[in-house]
Structure 1
């Protein structure tokens, strides 16, 4: 037998192995925290792409043509309710009518932004009732709900890995439950239950832990003079010394309020992929801001 004849079977095996290996599922999400959740459950069986890049605002974002084209070839899109989604879903469905779309909000009671921080009832500050708060991921118990949907969706797309997804889901949920218990332990005893934010991104977090956020910005607009005065008076009355801002947004209005009350501004990003680090830091800031 010649050397070529002896090596031919090995060569055939070597070439055919990659063809037998399953490709990771191509999953698209709207914001970075979702990527963390999908990767925690999917592991090496998923490749996750986030539409809104770090530093961008979901409220101003528009998907680029190359992102739409890539989405049309995806195995799954997980929507979160970001403002840009509705306008582009029809185009996505036209490009790929078979694209599975998972709504991460399924089974979750959604909040209205106008219900957050309305305590001062300032007549000079316009309220936009009916605007839905999309930041559902800021509550660990709600992420637990989302995790179950992700496990089921990934398992349906790749049944051979369903047990793998289920095991990853259980580990992830255990981490969420530990985080939830830790935050309750830190915040349940706070005497001051209100905190001030520039953009109302923490409503679900506040609702989960019995807190109330007071927002400076409403419907993407800075407050007028009367509303700003009312916010300053409220902060002084309630001894608020901490104002939270997002790094994607202009902090000048928050800085004006902080200067008037002798407080400080802290940047914390609800869009950070470092989910557990971010929520632990938020809890620590709220404890420090309450003087405990």
Structure 2
């Protein structure tokens, strides 16, 4: 018996022993920040399940059997384009064919992930491999892109539950006001930082950097740990740009980041792009950026 069939049968069995919740329409999301947006718009009319567990990596995650139970009751699945979805999204949809899968970044102008970097005329250039565009899914880390994301979620909720439309639209307006507030606060924190480089182990901050005129320098590229040559290049650039911090996220190993920090006489700073409290988290991370970019 393959894994998908096992999960479906297991989920069906658990339906008899796990009480269903009737409080609201069940919506499953891939990562915790999406829960913030769905709950902000859906309010009491939705119940949100998060697929990638706290502390786990969206690159390698495998759903747990109990999560398949939630999927059998989910009306919507909000996908964001993180790597684990490539393998699992078709299987999850097969487990619940009546569930509507919303590809939330469809129609957005996505930036390419940096593929490698090299020196050109003394300046560091982030370059995409020719003929291989790996698009960056981390749109939620940008207030500008978050506005588009919120609009997609609003539309999905209204289509799934037309009766709740007045509530969803009112909550959406409040969320947009909050996103604008976050954007304004971050602009204030990063005033005067335009053009400055910051070093991050996993390239989660491309859209954030694009919003505020910063330059993201990733250590890990395309999910691959850096080799000695790549580490040497990053260390050289960090010294040239007087970078004294390496931003890491708790879902990934910090060993290479610590090696770089030791080489440049800097520190490792934790910045979690997958925190559930989107607004406070993004402002706090912007505050950390502002301190290290001074």
TM over 0.5: yes
Larger radius of gyration: 1
CA distance 1:188–1:126, shift in 2 (3 Å): closer
Q: In the alignment, does 2:267 pair up with 1:264?
A: yes
Could you tell me how far 1:204 is from its partner in structure 2?
Answer: 1.0
CA contact (8 A) 2:189 2:286 kept: yes
Instruction: Give the corresponding residue for 1:66.
Output: 66
CA contact (8 A) 1:201 1:270 kept: yes
CA distance 1:26–1:264, shift in 2 (3 Å): same
Instruction: Give the corresponding residue for 2:205.
Output: 202
Q: Residues 150-206 of structure 1, C-alpha deviation per residue, up to 9 Å, x if partnerless?
A: 112112222222111100000000010111122122224116521000111111111
Q: Residues 65-88 of structure 1, C-alpha deviation per residue, up to 9 Å, x if partnerless?
A: 332343132111000001121222
Instruction: Give the corresponding residue for 1:255.
Output: 258
CA contact (8 A) 1:72 1:92 kept: no
Once the two structures are overlaid, the 10-residue window that deviates more, 214-223 or 203-212, is: 214-223
Alignment counterpart, residue 177 of structure 2, candidates 174, 178, 185 = 174
Matched residue SS, 2:193: coil
Matched residue SS, 2:109: coil
Q: 1:126 & 1:222 partners in 2: Cα distance?
A: 17
CA contact (8 A) 1:192 1:290 kept: no
> What CA RMSD, in Å, does the superposition of the two structures yield over aligned residues?
2.3
What is the count of residue pairs matched by the alignment?
268
Q: Which runs of 5+ in 2 are unaligned?
A: 1-21
Q: 1:196 & 1:103 partners in 2: Cα distance?
A: 30
Matched residue SS, 1:196: strand
Q: Which runs of 5+ in 1 are unaligned?
A: 1-21
Q: Normalization by structure 2: what TM-score?
A: 0.85
CA distance 1:226–1:91, shift in 2 (3 Å): closer
CA distance 1:180–1:191, shift in 2 (3 Å): closer
CA distance 1:89–1:226, shift in 2 (3 Å): closer
Q: 1:15-26 residue pairs with structure 2 within 5 A? A: 23-26=23-26
Q: 1:67-216 residue pairs with structure 2 within 5 A? A: 67-114=67-114, 118=117, 120=119, 129-190=132-193, 193-216=196-219
CA distance 1:213–1:98, shift in 2 (3 Å): same
Q: 2:263 & 2:216 partners in 1: Cα distance?
A: 19
CA distance 1:127–1:226, shift in 2 (3 Å): farther
CA distance 1:120–1:94, shift in 2 (3 Å): same
Q: 2:93 & 2:193 partners in 1: Cα distance?
A: 47
Instruction: Give the corresponding residue for 2:226.
Output: 223
Instruction: Give the corresponding residue for 1:244.
Output: 247
Q: 2:69 & 2:84 partners in 1: Cα distance?
A: 16
Matched residue SS, 2:258: helix
